[in-house]
Homo-oligomer: A and B are copies of this chain.
C-alpha cells in the first residue's frame, strides 16, 4: 500500500492545525484516505504544536511514528521529531530561524517580499511541502481557494513563492480512479450524525475536546434549521436540553468529564422523567482539569453509572467517521424510541482527529414514534415499558413529567406498589434496549478473525489496534456499544479466543472491569496514560512482546 506521513510542527499560534488541514485536503483531493492527528498543549500561543497527516490508499484512522516529511516552523519540531524520519524522508525548515538537515525555506523573506502577516508562514510551509512532493500547482491553488477564503490572493502568492523555491524530492501521485472525500474532525462526524438523526437543538458549554461539536453545529445551525444554545453552565445545558425534549424537540448536549459531572443530576432526571436526551461526552486526561488537550479513556465506568438511582442508558463509542455518523444518528433515535439518555462516548484522539470516511455516509429514514392514546397519561404502562410521548400544547390533554416517583399520569406518588410498577417499567425498557442494540455492528471484529489471540479495545484506539492486528495476524475485537453490554455479539466475536490483550488509554483498564462482570478475563493489559495515543509502530512492539 502506498502511504505517506507528514509532520508539521511549530508554536501555538503558528496555524499548525490549519496548515495540517490544507495538506490533508490536498491528499484527499488526490484520492487518498486521510487521517490527521493533532497534538497541542492547553494554551493559545507559544507551546509546541504538531500534526501528523497520514494519507493512504485504504482507510486509516491512526498515525504512525515514522514520517516521510517534517515541516518545521520552529526548532522544537526539528529537534523532537527528527529521529522519526523514515529513511527516504526529509525536512523542510523555516530558515534561518530553524537549524536542521533537509531543505531550508526562508519564510520570513517570503513574507517580507509579499508583505504577508506572520501567521501566513504556515501557508508558505504548505506551498513548500507541495513543491517538495510535486503536487500540481493547479490543485494547490484550488485547495487554497477553497479553504482560505480570507486574503486568498495574498496566501496564494506566498504559497506559490515557497512552492517554487523548494526542490522536489518525493513524488506523490494521485490515486487512480479515486475521487476526493470529505474531510472532517471526529467531532464534526458526530455532529453530522446528530443532524442526520434529526436533532432540533444542540446545547453545550465549551469544553475541550468536545467544543468542536458545538462550533460545527453553530456554524450550520441556520441552514440546518436547528437551535444551538450556549448557556451559562453545564447544569443549565442539561436542564435546558430536557426542557427542549419535554417540548418535543430532539436535543443533544456535549461536554467533557468536568462538565459532565455537573450534568449527572440532569442525567438521573432524564432517567426518572423518561426524557430523551443525547449526551456527547469526549474524554480527556483526568482526574479534574487534568490534561485538557490530551487523550484518555478513563470515564467509561463513570459514564456507565453516573447519576443516582437505576435507569437504562445507552453508550456507544465510535472509532471511525462512519461509525460516529451512524451511532450519533442512532443515539438520537434510541433516545426517542425508549425515552432514555443515550451517550456518544468519544475522546480527544477521536474528537479532534481529522478523517476521511471509510465509505460514503448513508442517511437512513427515521421511524415514527407510536401515537398516544387518550385520555393521555405520560407514564402509561405498556408491555415494553415505553409510554407514548405527547408534546404540549395538545388540546384537552395535559403532559406532566416529574423527577419524583410518580403515577401513570405523572403526579408524585410514594406508594410502594406504584414504585414497583415504575421501576419494572424502566427495567423492561432496559431489556428492550438490550435486544435492540445487541445486534450486528455492536461489536467490531477484524484482523485475522480466526486467530486465537485477540486484541481488545474500544473507542479511538481501534484505529491503531486494527493495524496492529493485521500486522501481527491477531484477531481484533472491539465493542462499539458499551451499555447495555452486547453480550451476544461479543460472545460470537470471541469464539475460539484463548488469549486476550486489552489496549486502553487508562491506568486501570476500565473495559477490563466491564468484561469481568460479563465473565471474561483478560490476559494482558496494555495501558497508556500519558495522554498520548499509540502510534502503529509503538503498539506493534508492545503487543508483540505479550502476544506469544
B308–A299 touching, CB < 8 Å: yes
CB under 8 Å from chain B, chain A span 505-519 = 506-508, 513, 516-519
Indicate whether A310 sits within 8 Å of B288 (C-beta atoms), given known contacts A41-B414, A268-B258, A529-B420.
no
Indicate whether A262 sits within 8 Å of B265 (C-beta atoms), given known contacts A305-B301, A405-B291.
yes
Over the window 511-548 of chain A, the binary record of Cβ atoms lying under 8 Å from chain B Cβ atoms (1 yes, 0 no) is 00100111100000000011110000000000000000
Chain B residues with CB under 8 A of A420: 529-530
B291–A310 touching, CB < 8 Å: no
Say yes or no: is A269 at the interface (Cβ < 8 Å to chain B). Answer: yes
Say yes or no: is A302 at the interface (Cβ < 8 Å to chain B). Answer: yes
Q: Give the distance in Å from the alpha carbon of A516 to the alpha carbon of B519 in the complex.
A: 7
Q: Give the distance in Å from the alpha carbon of A419 to the alpha carbon of B295 in the complex.
A: 12
A286–B302 touching, CB < 8 Å: no
A419–B530 touching, CB < 8 Å: yes
Chain B residues with CB under 8 A of A288: 265, 268-269, 271-273, 307-309, 403-404
A310–B507 touching, CB < 8 Å: yes
Contact of A287 among B269, B289, B507, B517 (CB under 8 A): B269
Q: Give the distance in Å from the alpha carbon of A427 to the alpha carbon of B42 in the complex.
A: 25
Say yes or no: is A25 at the interface (Cβ < 8 Å to chain B). Answer: no
Q: Shortest beta-carbon distance, A400 to chain B, in Å?
A: 14
B257–A268 touching, CB < 8 Å: yes
B302–A305 touching, CB < 8 Å: yes
Contact of A290 among B258, B405, B506, B518 (CB under 8 A): B405
B261–A286 touching, CB < 8 Å: no
Chain B residues with CB under 8 A of A287: 268-269, 271-272, 307-311
Pull 21 A–B residue pairs with CB atoms less than 8 Å apart, ordered by A.
Answer: A47-B414, A257-B308, A260-B308, A262-B262, A264-B264, A264-B306, A265-B288, A272-B286, A272-B290, A273-B288, A285-B405, A286-B309, A290-B308, A290-B404, A298-B308, A310-B506, A416-B530, A419-B530, A420-B529, A423-B530, A424-B507
Say yes or no: is A325 at the interface (Cβ < 8 Å to chain B). Answer: no
B257–A309 touching, CB < 8 Å: yes
Chain B residues with CB under 8 A of A273: 288
Q: Give the distance in Å from the alpha carbon of A17 to the alpha carbon of B261 in the complex.
A: 36
A414–B294 touching, CB < 8 Å: yes
A290–B261 touching, CB < 8 Å: no
Q: Give the distance in Å from the alpha carbon of A424 to the alpha carbon of B530 in the complex.
A: 11
Say yes or no: is A296 at the interface (Cβ < 8 Å to chain B). Answer: yes
Chain B residues with CB under 8 A of A256: 308
CB under 8 Å from chain B, chain A span 416-436 = 416-417, 419-420, 423-424, 426-427
Say yes or no: is A170 at the interface (Cβ < 8 Å to chain B). Answer: no
Q: Give the distance in Å from the alpha carbon of A423 to the alpha carbon of B294 in the complex.
A: 14
Say yes or no: is A304 at the interface (Cβ < 8 Å to chain B). Answer: yes
- The listed residue with most B CB atoms (<10 A of its CB), out of A261, A291, A293, A301, is A261
CB under 8 Å from chain B, chain A span 290-338 = 290-294, 296, 298-299, 301-302, 304-311
Indicate whether A285 sits within 8 Å of B419 (C-beta atoms), given known contacts A308-B258, A308-B298.
yes
Q: Give the distance in Å from the alpha carbon of A292 to the alpha carbon of B308 in the complex.
A: 12
Q: Give the distance in Å from the alpha carbon of A261 to the alpha carbon of B423 in the complex.
A: 21
Contact of A308 among B261, B305, B517 (CB under 8 A): B261
Closest to A417 in B: B530
Chain B residues with CB under 8 A of A271: 286-288
A307–B311 touching, CB < 8 Å: no
Q: Give the distance in Å from the alpha carbon of A423 to the alpha carbon of B290 in the complex.
A: 11
Beyond A264-B306, A423-B507, 9 extra complex contacts between A and B, CB < 8 Å:
A262-B265, A269-B287, A269-B289, A283-B308, A288-B308, A288-B403, A298-B310, A301-B301, A419-B531
Give me the 9 closest cross-chain CB pairs, A-B, nearest first: A286-B309, A257-B308, A287-B309, A261-B265, A272-B288, A416-B530, A261-B264, A271-B287, A289-B403
A291–B257 touching, CB < 8 Å: no
